[in-house]
């Protein structure tokens, strides 16, 4: 199964693509979609949509794993992220890629075995699970890889169907 993990945003959108076969995990590709500050917001959303569509068409993932939104203290930023996340979901739906949504604690639990793990612990476990020499950069890409790993580990669960939106 090829899984595309996405760390949503509007300035930097991390992505990580892994292949999961039985007990074997392999990192295929990772990186970030970026949009320049100062660019009209609708143009930023178009760039995200176009780049996401290109990613989906190029790699043809079997599943997209994306973080659920959490509105903390900065609601204004959260609204922008929600817009970016919306065009990502649209691109995946148009390509008929099943979408699976995970809360940050679910990602931490799946990758580290502890739902309150710190960010550095998640990054280190991501590196170890994929047998990488270093933690992938930027951090948004590392977070996206962790989301893909979360789905790889969760998709074997008897409860795996509960997160799917398609």
Q: What is the pLDDT at residue 154?
A: 86
Which whole-number Å values give the CA distances from 143 to 42, 44, 95, 96, in the listed order? Answer: 25, 21, 23, 24
Q: What is the pLDDT at residue 74?
A: 60
Please give the average pLDDT of every successive group of 10 residues along the chain, which has 166 residues. 96 97 93 95 97 98 92 69 95 97 95 94 95 95 97 70 50
47, two tokens: 């760039």
pTM confidence score? 0.90
Active site (catalytic) residues: 7, 67, 140
Q: What is the pLDDT at residue 78?
A: 80
CB 127 within 8 A of CB 135: yes
- Domains of the chain are 2-165 (3.30.420.10)
- 53 φ, ψ to 5°? -60, -45
Edge-first strand order for the sheet with 12-21 is: 24-34, 12-21, 2-7, 63-67, 99-102, 164-165
Q: What is the pLDDT at residue 22?
A: 83
Q: What is the pLDDT at residue 158?
A: 46
């Amino acid at each position: 199964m090829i899984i595309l993990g996405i760390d949503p945003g509007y300035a930097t959108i991390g992505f990580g693509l892994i292949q999961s076969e039985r007990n074997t995990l392999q990192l295929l590709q990772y990186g970030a979609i970026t949009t320049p500050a100062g660019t009209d917001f609708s143009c930023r959303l178009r760039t995200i949509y176009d780049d996401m569509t290109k990613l989906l068409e190029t790699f043809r993932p079997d599943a997209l794993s994306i973080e659920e939104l959490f509105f903390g203290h900065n609601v204004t930023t959260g609204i922008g992220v929600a817009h970016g996340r919306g065009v990502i979901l649209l691109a995946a739906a148009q390509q008929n890629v099943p979408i699976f949504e995970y809360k940050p604690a679910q990602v931490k639990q799946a990758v580290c075995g502890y739902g309150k793990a710190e960010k550095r612990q998640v990054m280190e476990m991501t590196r170890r699970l994929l047998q990488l020499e270093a933690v992938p950069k930027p951090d948004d890409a590392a977070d996206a890889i962790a989301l893909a790993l979360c789905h790889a580990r969760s998709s074997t669960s008897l409860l795996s169907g509960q997160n799917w939106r398609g």
